Amino acid sequence: MRLKSGLTFLVIVTLFLVVGIYSNQERSRLVFSGESEHWKGNFRITGDQPWVDQELTLTFIGPNVPLDSDIHFSFTSPFGGGEVKGARLKKDQTVTFIGGGTGADLYRGPDEEVRVMIHWEGFQEVVVLKNIK
Protein backbone atom coordinates (compact mmCIF):
# COMPACT_ATOMS: atom_id res chain seq x y z
CA MET A 1 0.00 0.00 0.00
CA ARG A 2 2.85 2.35 0.88
CA LEU A 3 4.60 1.60 -2.42
CA LYS A 4 1.38 2.31 -4.35
CA SER A 5 0.90 5.65 -2.56
CA GLY A 6 4.54 6.57 -3.18
CA LEU A 7 4.28 5.78 -6.90
CA THR A 8 1.04 7.74 -7.20
CA PHE A 9 2.67 10.73 -5.51
CA LEU A 10 5.71 10.48 -7.80
CA VAL A 11 3.51 10.36 -10.93
CA ILE A 12 1.51 13.41 -9.79
CA VAL A 13 4.67 15.41 -9.03
CA THR A 14 6.13 14.47 -12.42
CA LEU A 15 2.96 15.58 -14.22
CA PHE A 16 2.98 18.93 -12.43
CA LEU A 17 6.64 19.46 -13.35
CA VAL A 18 6.04 18.66 -17.01
CA VAL A 19 2.97 20.90 -17.21
CA GLY A 20 4.84 23.70 -15.42
CA ILE A 21 7.80 23.52 -17.78
CA TYR A 22 5.67 23.59 -20.93
CA SER A 23 3.28 26.28 -19.71
CA ASN A 24 6.19 28.64 -19.03
CA GLN A 25 7.54 28.40 -22.55
CA GLU A 26 6.70 31.50 -24.54
CA ARG A 27 5.99 31.32 -28.21
CA SER A 28 8.20 33.61 -30.24
CA ARG A 29 6.32 36.36 -32.03
CA LEU A 30 7.08 38.99 -34.62
CA VAL A 31 4.67 41.70 -35.74
CA PHE A 32 5.09 43.73 -38.92
CA SER A 33 2.93 46.76 -39.74
CA GLY A 34 2.71 49.36 -42.48
CA GLU A 35 0.46 51.57 -44.54
CA SER A 36 0.14 52.83 -48.10
CA GLU A 37 -2.29 55.24 -49.72
CA HIS A 38 -5.26 52.84 -49.72
CA TRP A 39 -4.24 49.93 -47.48
CA LYS A 40 -3.01 49.21 -43.98
CA GLY A 41 -1.38 45.86 -43.25
CA ASN A 42 -0.47 43.80 -40.20
CA PHE A 43 1.51 40.57 -40.39
CA ARG A 44 1.99 38.37 -37.32
CA ILE A 45 4.14 35.30 -37.16
CA THR A 46 4.20 33.19 -34.02
CA GLY A 47 5.59 29.84 -33.10
CA ASP A 48 8.33 27.68 -31.78
CA GLN A 49 10.70 26.05 -34.20
CA PRO A 50 9.99 24.23 -36.32
CA TRP A 51 6.26 25.20 -36.35
CA VAL A 52 5.05 28.73 -37.15
CA ASP A 53 1.69 30.38 -37.77
CA GLN A 54 1.29 33.37 -40.08
CA GLU A 55 -1.57 35.86 -40.21
CA LEU A 56 -1.73 38.77 -42.66
CA THR A 57 -4.62 41.23 -42.29
CA LEU A 58 -5.16 43.96 -44.88
CA THR A 59 -7.54 46.84 -44.20
CA PHE A 60 -8.83 49.08 -46.99
CA ILE A 61 -8.47 52.72 -45.85
CA GLY A 62 -9.27 54.48 -49.12
CA PRO A 63 -12.67 55.60 -50.41
CA ASN A 64 -15.29 52.87 -50.26
CA VAL A 65 -14.72 49.87 -52.48
CA PRO A 66 -17.63 47.49 -53.17
CA LEU A 67 -17.58 44.48 -50.84
CA ASP A 68 -18.04 42.17 -53.84
CA SER A 69 -14.81 43.39 -55.48
CA ASP A 70 -12.16 40.78 -56.17
CA ILE A 71 -9.05 41.42 -54.12
CA HIS A 72 -5.85 39.70 -55.22
CA PHE A 73 -2.72 39.94 -53.10
CA SER A 74 0.63 38.28 -52.68
CA PHE A 75 3.34 38.73 -50.11
CA THR A 76 6.95 37.83 -49.49
CA SER A 77 8.60 37.70 -46.10
CA PRO A 78 11.75 36.31 -44.51
CA PHE A 79 9.59 33.30 -43.60
CA GLY A 80 8.13 32.51 -47.02
CA GLY A 81 5.18 34.03 -48.78
CA GLY A 82 1.73 33.47 -50.11
CA GLU A 83 -0.81 34.46 -52.72
CA VAL A 84 -4.59 34.89 -52.59
CA LYS A 85 -6.83 35.49 -55.60
CA GLY A 86 -10.49 36.44 -55.52
CA ALA A 87 -10.75 37.39 -51.85
CA ARG A 88 -13.65 39.56 -50.71
CA LEU A 89 -13.56 42.36 -48.16
CA LYS A 90 -15.54 41.80 -44.98
CA LYS A 91 -17.91 44.50 -43.74
CA ASP A 92 -15.10 46.00 -41.67
CA GLN A 93 -13.12 46.46 -44.94
CA THR A 94 -10.56 43.74 -44.07
CA VAL A 95 -9.28 40.61 -45.73
CA THR A 96 -7.15 38.04 -43.90
CA PHE A 97 -4.69 35.33 -44.89
CA ILE A 98 -3.90 32.64 -42.31
CA GLY A 99 -1.24 30.03 -42.90
CA GLY A 100 1.42 28.00 -41.22
CA GLY A 101 4.36 25.80 -41.83
CA THR A 102 7.74 24.65 -40.67
CA GLY A 103 11.33 25.75 -40.97
CA ALA A 104 11.06 29.49 -40.23
CA ASP A 105 13.78 31.06 -38.10
CA LEU A 106 12.04 33.77 -36.06
CA TYR A 107 15.36 35.09 -34.82
CA ARG A 108 16.57 35.74 -38.36
CA GLY A 109 13.89 38.15 -39.58
CA PRO A 110 13.27 40.95 -37.06
CA ASP A 111 15.02 43.63 -39.14
CA GLU A 112 13.65 42.49 -42.46
CA GLU A 113 10.39 43.58 -44.09
CA VAL A 114 7.28 42.05 -45.58
CA ARG A 115 6.20 43.27 -49.02
CA VAL A 116 2.54 42.95 -49.98
CA MET A 117 1.33 43.52 -53.57
CA ILE A 118 -2.43 44.21 -53.77
CA HIS A 119 -4.65 44.35 -56.90
CA TRP A 120 -8.28 45.56 -56.77
CA GLU A 121 -10.75 47.29 -59.09
CA GLY A 122 -8.03 47.93 -61.70
CA PHE A 123 -5.63 49.41 -59.13
CA GLN A 124 -2.35 48.07 -57.83
CA GLU A 125 -0.43 49.04 -54.71
CA VAL A 126 2.53 47.81 -52.65
CA VAL A 127 2.47 47.94 -48.85
CA VAL A 128 5.80 47.55 -47.06
CA LEU A 129 5.45 46.20 -43.53
CA LYS A 130 8.21 46.83 -40.97
CA ASN A 131 8.84 44.96 -37.74
CA ILE A 132 7.26 46.66 -34.72
CA LYS A 133 7.86 43.91 -32.11
Residue spans per domain, the chain: 28-131
* Residue 24: predicted pLDDT: 42
Please answer whether residues 32 and 75 qualify as being in contact, where contact means their C-beta atoms are separated by less than 8 angstroms.
no
pLDDT in tens, 69-114: 899 999 988 777 889 999 999 989 999 999 877 655 666 555 789 9
Sheet holding 51-60, edge to edge: 80-87, 71-77, 113-120, 123-131, 28-35, 39-48, 51-60, 94-102
| Position with higher pLDDT, 95 vs 3 | 95
* Residue 21: predicted pLDDT: 44
Annotation: binding site for ATP: 130
Question: What is the DSSP-derived secondary structure letter of residue 9?
Answer: H
Annotation: binding site: 130
- Angle at alpha carbon of residue 112, lines to 108 and 114, rounded to 5°: 120
Give the architecture-level CATH label for domain 28-131.
Sandwich (2.60)
Judge whether residue 53 has pLDDT over 50: yes
Tell me, what amino acid is at 122?
A: G
pLDDT in tens, 14-30: 655 444 444 444 557 88
Phi, psi (5° rounding) for residue 121? 45, 40
pLDDT in tens, 34-47: 999 999 999 998 88
Residue 98: is it exposed, middle or buried by C-beta count within 10 angstroms (0-12/13-18/19+)? exposed
- What is the distance of C-alpha 99 from the center of its chain? 7
Phi, psi (5° rounding) for residue 15? -60, -45
